[in-house]
Structure 1
């Protein structure tokens, strides 16, 4: 049955101009019919996919994953969904990528925990919710309902700017004693949003200027051009002593300071999400760091 417009997920998303791509694997697929059975769903949902087989996930993410049910994989899928939305006609600001990975009740008892990882990526931020379920206390149908409500609660709270009572109340009612949701959110600075909307090719952070940000426009050059800049590029997952030793040697040879560069883009994989960028950037502890869209050395 369709819901009243005041509580309809589709109506709320339509009013906010959201264009959604949804990915569900291992659980959470009930979110799809909840959305698609509402009037106006075609104005909001661009695509919904259920890559259940591991090779299907690998195809979406450009390679094998360390874990197929994790916060990291959910974030990667959410960014892939956001990028897919922009390919399907949404603007960078309209597109929303929602992903859920789950390890739920199956035919054979699972050795590990029953858990859900939900992630939402938009130009305005990356948000996650992780829930470890009480094992064996629900049917698969009940776990799937919880997964769908968790997805909708996160999606609608971000779209509306605050929790939507109907979904937050149902979510809280479905939780069992001892269960709690771990949430994380990253609000990106405007310069990072410029990278994701392709209105900047690179942005600087840290270094001698502290919080001062320098932006290179697509096809442009830094305002303060320096001949023979010494750039150390890498994924830095993590930044380790080997990197720092190489940088020290390079500085001695070149007689100029190293500037570090982390590309948020990848030729064959989704872009990094804001939470991941924030974690990797924090490792540099004030060292001059460039974030860029340059996925190849030719572009750098």
Structure 2
């Protein structure tokens, strides 16, 4: 395979909107050089990690693999990379997680086969391949090159590069890869989210572009998210207005709503319930993230650096030791972890037990005060609530 063909495939990968996280160990190192040496790499590469030691791979996966060089381990690496790509990518961007693990030529003769396994995970597809190389045919550098070729083609396929079918590796006719593909529909992906296999799913109904937001003013689709979390049962004008005002207070950010499929005190939402609530955002033309994290300290880890838009009632719960096992110290420690992620809370006034309250009505601990920002009442005051709307509808 010529260098010019490799370069053309890499250029095609970089021209797609797909962003990638790569985890690979034991081979295919030349693929990173190819991807990084062609202009446009920052369009594609979000993160590359090489967990070469056993302990590094165990920590990356959060478990000890049954076998370090196996199809299952490559798939686990791809899934971990996919979840990481979701966290690092711009809202609405297609992402791919790539996992590779190999056992190639080394300084001493190997009793077993020279082989490698690779996998790619996108929102609707898990693909994996296993290749056994002809032992003694190649040097380590040559095995690195051929495994890198196969990995590069897999990335091109995951990015839907149209000419990737013409990209042939230097494998011999006896070195045929064993492939497996599993495709997911929306329901299956949401089930995976509810079960904790994937961390969130974005419905980018605002198309993830610089767009006219609410009042017609242009807003940057930057990496920082301005997130209004809730159950949205139903979504109403108060939610839309609150996020609009929050965006006017943020110099840069991507506005989105966030619905957790998992509730701390209730059973998780069903797939049907999630899809029904998502339809509201499609109709409103607003981006919504479906996550599986009901707690704000976990949301802060999932969406670091974000500004969370909350009501005064939520702010009161956030600083109440009751929700931290009755411990004031646990409350401070938990919220300081949120602070470390760069998260802030934009607090709007809310009617609480018949009294309208704002941020200044609460005693925010000194070490947390700079995390909480008040939304002025002259910019936002709306006493409507989803609970009242459901009552009025007899629900």
Pairing of 1:2-21 with structure 2 (within 5 A): 3=4, 7-9=8-10, 11-21=11-21
SS of 2:8's equivalent? coil
Q: Contact 1:153–1:163 at 8 Å: present in 2 too?
A: no
**Alpha carbon RMSD of aligned pairs, Å?**
2.9
Q: Contact 1:129–1:154 at 8 Å: present in 2 too?
A: no
Pairing of 1:64-213 with structure 2 (within 5 A): 64-91=64-91, 94-160=94-160, 164-167=164-167, 169=168, 171=169, 174-194=170-190, 195=193, 196=198, 197-198=200-201, 201=261
- List alignment gaps of at least 5 residues for structure 1: 203-212, 221-263, 266-300
Q: Measure the CA separation in 2 of the matches of 1:37 and 1:14.
A: 11
Q: Contact 1:106–1:140 at 8 Å: present in 2 too?
A: yes
Task: Give per-residue Cα distances to partners, 1:184-215, cap 9 Å, x unaligned.
Answer: 1111022123334447838xxxxxxxxxx953
Q: How many residues align?
A: 207
What TM-score do the two structures reach when normalised by structure 1? 0.62
Q: Measure the CA separation in 1 of the matches of 2:165 and 2:272.
A: 40
SS of 2:106's equivalent? coil
Q: Measure the CA separation in 1 of the matches of 2:5 and 2:117.
A: 29
Which runs of at least 4 in structure 1 moved beyond 3 Å after TM superposition? Answer: 1-6, 90-93, 194-202
Q: Measure the CA separation in 1 of the matches of 2:159 and 2:22.
A: 15
Change in Cα spacing, 1:90 to 1:82, as seen in structure 2 (3 Å) is farther
What TM-score do the two structures reach when normalised by structure 2? 0.48
Q: Contact 1:2–1:38 at 8 Å: present in 2 too?
A: no
Q: Contact 1:31–1:151 at 8 Å: present in 2 too?
A: yes
Q: Contact 2:7–2:38 at 8 Å: present in 1 too?
A: no
Residue 89 of structure 1: CA displacement? 2.8
SS of 1:30's equivalent? helix
Q: Measure the CA separation in 2 of the matches of 1:143 and 1:2.
A: 16
- List alignment gaps of at least 5 residues for structure 2: 203-259, 263-269, 278-291, 294-395
Instruction: Give the stretch that moved more between structures: 138-147 or 158-167.
Output: 158-167
Q: Measure the CA separation in 2 of the matches of 1:128 and 1:114.
A: 17
Change in Cα spacing, 1:162 to 1:4, as seen in structure 2 (3 Å) is closer
Task: Give per-residue Cα distances to partners, 1:213-259, cap 9 Å, x unaligned.
Answer: 953429x9xxxxxxxxxxxxxxxxxxxxxxxxxxxxxxxxxxxxxxx
SS of 1:131's equivalent? strand
Pairing of 1:219-230 with structure 2 (within 5 A): none
Q: Contact 2:17–2:93 at 8 Å: present in 1 too?
A: no
Task: Give per-residue Cα distances to partners, 1:57-89, cap 9 Å, x unaligned.
Answer: 001000211111000000000111111112213
Q: With CA pairs under 8 Å and 6+ residues apart, which has the higher RCO, 1 or 2?
A: 1
Q: Measure the CA separation in 2 of the matches of 1:201 and 1:132.
A: 42
Q: Measure the CA separation in 2 of the matches of 1:4 and 1:153.
A: 11
Q: Contact 2:9–2:156 at 8 Å: present in 1 too?
A: no
Q: Measure the CA separation in 2 of the matches of 1:2 and 1:134.
A: 23
Residue 42 of structure 1: CA displacement? 1.0
More helix by share: 2
Residue 136 of structure 1: CA displacement? 1.2
**Larger CA Rg, structure 1 vs 2:** 2
